[in-house]
Structure 1
């Protein structure tokens, strides 16, 4: 089985979600099914059908999260020693050479990626262009609008 990279923070969030699914969501849906059953005829009981569908979703998500955690290679960015190189878990400050804008991204696993908070997937085009670069290097990223160039200003492991 392939190991999936995950930051320490991402693994903690998945564990918290799994805990909530098992201790809050699963019992709530079981209670909803029992309540819907008490209404009688199940063949035309929309509440029962909705609760069973919700139960299927919750059980599927529990299996999915457990599988991700079991195949995860958890990496703590603070413990990385990559000598200033862009690697998984690194936080990278970039300057867009065409606009002069600066942005900061952390390279994370696919499940953790959220551009609104500056977390980009290790599988994204920009991450693939950055991996292995050092501060001062130029990364050419193939974007939908053409090639964009970024200068790596700083690499941190936080």
Structure 2
């Protein structure tokens, strides 16, 4: 017989597993794979070589170079493990099935700050692909969250550290 605790636990586990899924554009997924390949095929052998060279220098108990090389290898392995986990939970976004009438991930959105009349253009992307310099903001950022689901003409009231901002959605498009 299944207890209530088992049911709650399985829901919690499913929620935890589902919360690690991240969505990527083809470009973002390609960059993730390239970084992982770089770390595994180039950086990992370099770290092993550095450890071997430090080991050859004598007494390991007083060899700071060896300790540093081992620590660097540990950090590298942690980074590889994290990227492998992210990659295994990555999902490619099928842009052909996205609704263009509402702001969604991969939307190019033109908004107007109602307080000062300033117009801004952003592309909403997954958190891992955000780059404010190129106009890509995360869907998990305060502005991204506030814009999600809005249509042209709607106003998004967004709470930011300095207070509340109101942005009118002027245009929504996809490239």
Q: Given that residues 84 and 134 in structure 1 are in contact (C-alpha distance below 8 angstroms), is that contact kept between their aligned partners in structure 2?
A: yes
Q: What's the counterpart of residue 66 of structure 1?
A: 84
The structure that has the greater radius of gyration is 2
Mapping of residues 3-152 of structure 1, within 5 Å: 3-77=21-95, 79-152=96-169
Higher helix share goes to which structure?
Answer: 2
Deviation at 1:83, TM superposition (A): 3.0
Deviation at 1:84, TM superposition (A): 2.4
Matched residue pairs, number?
A: 157
Deviation at 1:117, TM superposition (A): 2.1
TM-score, normalisation: structure 2: 0.83
Distance across 2 between alignment mates of 1:80 and 1:136: 23
Higher relative contact order (CA 8 A, sep 6+): 1
Q: Given that residues 76 and 89 in structure 1 are in contact (C-alpha distance below 8 angstroms), is that contact kept between their aligned partners in structure 2?
A: no
Distance across 2 between alignment mates of 1:53 and 1:16: 24
Distance across 2 between alignment mates of 1:156 and 1:8: 18
Distance across 1 between alignment mates of 2:115 and 2:33: 41
Mind listing any 5+ residue stretches in structure 1 that lack a counterpart?
none
Distance across 1 between alignment mates of 2:81 and 2:90: 14
Q: Compared with structure 1, are the counterparts of its residues 100 and 80 closer, same or farther at alpha carbon in structure 2 (3 Å cutoff)?
A: farther
Q: Which moved more, 1:41-50 or 1:3-12?
A: 3-12
Mind listing any 5+ residue stretches in structure 2 that lack a counterpart?
1-16
